[in-house]
Amino acid sequence: MDDLLAYEDIKKRAKNQGFAGKITEVEDLLAPEDITFLWNQVNRLEDITELEILESYLDRQKELGAWVSELLPSPIEKIVGMNFTDNLKGHYDTMENLGRQRNNNLRAVESLEEYPLEFQGNDLKELSLPGSSTDYPQNWRVELDASALTGTIDLFSDHVPDEKTTEASTVASSYPNQQMLAHRRNLGYLPEPITDEEDLAELLKWGASRDPEDMIWKWLHPMNIFDFSDIFLNLKDYKRLLKTIHQNWDYITNSVLSTLSTHLGATQTEIVETFAVTVGYGIRGWATDDGFGVNIEYLKDDFQLLLGTLAHELLHRIQPNICPTYHDRQSDSPNLEDLTQGPFDDPKDEKFYELLTYILLEGSGEFIKHEFKAGPEEELLEGSQKGIDLLEKGYRKIYKEDRLDQADKVLSRGLSSNGPFYALGEFMTRKLIENKPEGFLGETLEGGSLRFFLTFQDLEQTDLDVPVPLRKKIASIYEKLNSAHTGS
């Protein structure tokens, strides 16, 4: 194993070894810092054939709930079955193949348009944010819990090559990580196996590893090892980001809470919440009955999106205290799932009501999020039309085909990865509150999902048409709701 080399020394050595052409091919693929990293990791190996273990790493990730094949191509697709020849030419061939694979991986992540590959160097105080005053009720406050991210950074910063099982278990069992994992379990559409606390500890330990095979695996794809690859390879940026969030937390919460207060108006309740900063593959924001937060790697220093996501998830914590609920519970505190359950005897009506209510809940959350970072209007209209088409499909599955199980699949498709039900609900929310006084969103949530759809149907707008069968069914269910509510 050679000593670690600088970039210019690597080029000089390649030339002296007769591989100037090979290193030029690698330079066409990778930036100097990546060539330096990869060269030094490859040369840390006792034998380059040790890299054959990479072919087993994807299965290992899947077993730990840290990879969904439907989301992205395999991070090792181009190197499966590759002959890792342990000679000088083999080293350069390996670097070239790994470089091609990494570039393919980065392009695939970029195509998601949901995961930023780099920090942008944004200055939070230079951004134009809504609100940012203290004009909200005095009994509203949101505390910050960054212990999960802090613990992860500390674990990954430890250069002592000892066993990290205890430290990893401590971070995995932190309260924010428990809630983040609970959210994953509760989603209903993630494929099995779903990461549990023990899996997370194993992933954290793996993410902290400095073995050359593991270092190369992390370098190949930022979302490898439950996204811990990204954290490990950008520790300085994440430390700086965490410091910025801590130092500006009052500014952040003032902006979010004053914006929510403006839109919720007189529909106000006490808000005492804790916002967690975590790391978690495949999901940006999360909320449970007991907390809410973001997986920070999906935001990095996009502060407008950070505040928007915070506001979206915080609204989910508030909605159970505003929206109508008909479900009797042992607890005095309703949750989002309770809001989707109506008082109907007919399971078909119950299922359709569930679809409509999720559209209201998620759509209003998206509206609040985009008060901080607006999305393209044309994409919103296109997405909302897909949402209506999908809702009509759900209607057919429920009432025409008597396939409630298929309606669940429609719901999953509508919600997965900010699906078309998000866009539909946001579009409707925006149209409903246009030219309305402050606080109208609060009134909209108080009215519930059926009134939400009926009021939208009465608008004089031609951008989005609700099919007649849907209109009639929603009106019919609303009549049943009023009858059930009045006992008549």
Say what the pLDDT of residue 1 is.
46
Do 399 and 482 have their domain in common? yes
Residue 266 has pLDDT above 50, yes or no: yes
99 and 243 belong to one structural domain: no
Which residues span the domain enclosing 46? 7-112
Per-residue pLDDT, averaged over 360-379, amounts to: 93
**Mean of pLDDT values over 232-251:** 97
Is the same domain home to 317 and 340?
Answer: no
Statement to judge: residues 66 and 178 lie in one domain: no
Q: For residue 271, what are the contacts with CB-CB under 8 A and spacing of at least 6?
A: 137, 139, 140, 141, 142, 257, 314, 317, 318
- Do 137 and 271 have their domain in common? yes
The proportion of the chain whose per-residue pLDDT surpasses 90, expressed as a percent, equals: 74
Shared domain check, 96 and 142: no
Interior angle at CA 83, CA 56 and CA 12, nearest 5: 110
Instruction: Say yes or no to pLDDT of 162 above 90.
Output: no
pLDDT score for 161? 52
Quick one: which H or E segment has residue 141?
Answer: strand 140-145
- Do 284 and 218 lie in one domain? The reply is yes
* Tens digit of each residue's pLDDT (9 = 90 or more) over 82-102: 778 878 888 899 999 999 999
Phi, psi of 273 (to 5 degrees): -130, 165
What are 154's two structure tokens? 């500390």
What are the tens digits of pLDDT across the range 340-349? 999 999 999 9
Query: Does 123 fall in a domain?
Result: no
- Is residue 329 assigned to a domain? no
Tokens of 487: 């006992």
Residue 327 lies in a domain: no
Q: What's residue 11's pLDDT?
A: 94
Check whether residue 160 and residue 91 sit in a common domain. Answer: no
Closest CA to 130 of 262, 299, 244: 262
| 117 within 8 A of 71, measured Cβ to Cβ | no
Q: What percent of the chain has pLDDT over 70?
A: 94
Highest mean predicted confidence (pLDDT) among 265-269, 322-326, 389-393: 389-393
120/205 Cα distance (integer angstroms): 29
Rounded CA separation 459/455 (Å): 7
Report pLDDT for 332: 59
| Residue 334, both tokens | 């309703």
Expressed in angstroms, the distance from the first to the final Cα of the chain is 83
Asked whether residue 251 falls in the same domain as residue 291, the answer is yes
pLDDT for res 312: 95
pLDDT at 435: 80
d(CA 307, CA 313): 10
**Measured CA angle at 6 (ends 4, 7), to 5 deg:** 130
Helix or strand (DSSP H, E) at 108: helix 88-112
pTM of the model: 0.90
Per-residue pLDDT of 406-439, as tens digits, reads 999 999 999 988 899 999 999 999 999 998 888 9
Residue 63 lies in a domain: yes
Residue 214 within any structural domain of the chain: yes
> Which pLDDT does position 330 carry in this prediction?
43
pLDDT tens-digit readout, 163-184? 677 899 999 999 999 999 999 9
Question: Please, how many CA atoms are within 13 Å of residue 428, restricted to the half-sphere of its CB?
Answer: 34
The answer to whether residue 247 is domain-embedded is yes
Question: In a 3-state reduction of DSSP, which class is residue 383?
Answer: helix
Question: DSSP characters for 182-227?
Answer: HHHHHHS-SPSSPP-HHHHHHHHHHHH---HHHHHHHHH-TTTTTT
Q: Look at residues 321, 345, 372 and tell me which one is the last residue of a structural domain.
A: 321
How much is the pLDDT for 160? 63
**DSSP per residue over 388-455, as a string?**
HHHHHHHHIIIIIS--HHHHHHHHHHHHTTS-HHHHHHHHHHHHHHTTPPTTHHHHHHHHHHHHHHHH
pLDDT for 359 beyond 80: yes
Query: How confident is the model over 297-313, as pLDDT tens digits?
Result: 999 999 999 999 999 99
pLDDT value, residue 424: 98
Do 283 and 203 share a structural domain?
yes
Residue 122 lies inside a defined structural domain of this protein = no
Contact 329, 289 (CB under 8 A): no
End of a domain among 85, 112, 139?
A: 112
Q: Is the dihedral of CA 458, 414, 199, 310 positive or negative?
A: negative
Higher pLDDT, 56 or 378: 56
How would you list the strands of the sheet with 140-145, edge to edge? 140-145, 271-278, 291-295, 285-288
pLDDT at residue 130, rounded to an integer: 76
- 161 and 84 together in one domain: no
**CA angle, residues 384, 389, 392, in degrees to nearest 5:** 125
The verdict on 283 and 344 lying in the same domain is: no
Average model confidence (pLDDT) for the chain? 92
Domain count, the chain: 3
Query: Looking at the predicted structure, is the pLDDT value of residue 488 above 50?
Result: no
Write down the pLDDT at residue 127. Answer: 80
pLDDT at 485: 64
Question: Token pair 């607890």 is at which residue?
Answer: 331
pLDDT tens by residue, 215-237 = 999 999 999 999 999 999 999 99
Interval 27-42: pLDDT, tens: 999 999 999 999 999 9
Domain assignment present for 121: no
Taking the CA of residue 399 as centre, how many other CA atoms within 13 Å lie in the half-sphere pointing to its CB? Answer: 17
Tokens 């946001």, located at residue:
426
pLDDT band at 326 (very low <50, low <70, confident <90, very high): confident
